[in-house]
Homo-oligomer: A and B are copies of this chain.
Amino acid sequence: MTAHATHSVIGTAGAEGIDDVEAYMQRLGQAARHAATAMRRVDTASKNAALAAMARHLEAARAEVLAANARDLDRGRANGLDAALLDRLALDDARLQGMIDGLAQVAALPDPVGEIDGLRAQPSGIQVGQMRVPLGVIGIIYESRPNVTLEAASLCLKSGNACILRGGSEASESNAAIAECIRRGLDEAGLPSAAVQVVATTDRAAVGRLISMPEYVDVIIPRGGKSLIERITREASVPVIKHLDGVCHVYLDASADLEKALAIAVNAKTQRYGTCNTLETLLVDEPLAASLLPRLASAYAEHGVELRGCERTRAILGDGVVPASEADWEAEYLAPVLAIRVVDGVEEAMAHIERYGSRHTDAIVTENYSLARRFMTEVDSSSVIVNASTRFADGFEYGLGAEIGISTDRLHARGPVGLEGLTTRKYVVFGDGQIRS
């Protein structure tokens, strides 16, 4: 079945009425709430049809989207944005193709909505299970990358939610052009236009309003720097699914296979420096240190990684290694810098992780069955890994198909958040006239 659009398009393109940001956001919220009700009835085929239609419209609008992006880039250069930010902002044919392909990938994912788990008969005769349903209205606040607009829209749509997207002001023209393709796709598939709304004002008051309308918005997902996320979490009256730091550890136990230890320790640090699942502090079991640390140091040197070590590390590697301070154990470098500490066994390693870690992703390398089992049970991180690189902590690598982010929260969703994390479960009860006595 298909829900028909019953609400006018608000806020995806024009600037109508945006002088009054409060009222504008309220209209977006109301329209999203109505759209969410309609979206609950939409079947998988209609959602996939909308994704396919969006891909066609984006394909057809390549030139317009790139032109809009060029205007954003020009403005950004004029405003003195730095090169890294301009790079995140920039679209080209390859990135656009990636976005178009991403829509097909989301369409190919299984639809989580409607799945019923654990349906069991109870002593009263009723059958009780839990049905997966959309969360409702999702507000997403992000920064410069315009491809997030399409990614977030496609994941929210596939999971049956309505969403309100607030991108960075530096990407406003790109986002408006992409929003127009999304709107055409929704229209073509007969879905409500307000299922995906892109906030069309760069006024920062819009964010303040978005995070304080629990009557219209069920959850906020901020994507961006830590300060943005902390501010939103502090000020929001709507629940937030958030990602803070990734201070990730690899512990190399004396029982490790040395080749695996070396490969994992190097990969976890050097495969990419700027990601949240990158290794930041390496913990080395004392019996391994003398033989392994020099080999590790030369591998890291090849990659240009600066090492900061504890006293025992420096006793082995020499004074070339910068002494590590307390701040180093807490650092999320996101850079070719690595803290190294020699520890006495798994107990001390776990105590270090408990004290300094951010509960994101932590790994052990060991061939010892009981140690692996213990680390797995006792380390309290969103991903706990035995004998593999921390860089695997990712929605695609975990088989979620895509991710809207990685949650460092404990409630609701923890770790990579895919379609399932954008849903909730309600109880369903099948009876045959049962009453309670």
- What is the interface of chain A, defined by CB distance below 8 A to chain B? 37, 40-41, 114, 120, 122, 124, 126, 128, 131, 133, 135-136, 218-219, 234, 237, 239, 241, 257, 259-260, 263-264, 266-268, 271, 354, 363, 376-378, 380-389, 391-393, 397-399, 409-412, 414-416, 424-437
Residue of B whose beta carbon sits closest to that of A382? B426
Structural contact, A398 and B128, CB atoms closer than 8 A: yes
Structural contact, B40 and A377, CB atoms closer than 8 A: yes
User: A195 to chain B: closest CB distance in Å?
Assistant: 16
Known: A354-B37, A380-B133, A426-B414. A431 touches B385 (CB 8 A): yes
CA A48 to CA B243, docked complex, whole Å: 36
CA A133 to CA B428, docked complex, whole Å: 25
Q: A126-B392, A380-B426, A389-B436 are in contact. List 13 more A-B contacts (CB 8 A).
A: A40-B377, A122-B397, A131-B376, A239-B409, A241-B411, A264-B433, A376-B428, A386-B429, A387-B430, A388-B432, A391-B435, A392-B429, A414-B426
Structural contact, B410 and A427, CB atoms closer than 8 A: no
CA A314 to CA B242, docked complex, whole Å: 52
* A136 contact set on B, CB distance < 8 A: 380, 410
* A377 contact set on B, CB distance < 8 A: 40-41, 114, 131
User: A33 to chain B: closest CB distance in Å?
Assistant: 10
Known: A380-B133, A399-B122, A410-B218. A436 touches B271 (CB 8 A): yes
* A428 contact set on B, CB distance < 8 A: 376, 383-385
Q: Which of B135, B381, B410 is within 8 Å of A135, CB to CB?
A: B410
CA A37 to CA B380, docked complex, whole Å: 8
* A259 contact set on B, CB distance < 8 A: 433
Known: A392-B436, A397-B124. A410 touches B219 (CB 8 A): yes
* A411 contact set on B, CB distance < 8 A: 135, 218-219, 239, 241, 411-412, 424
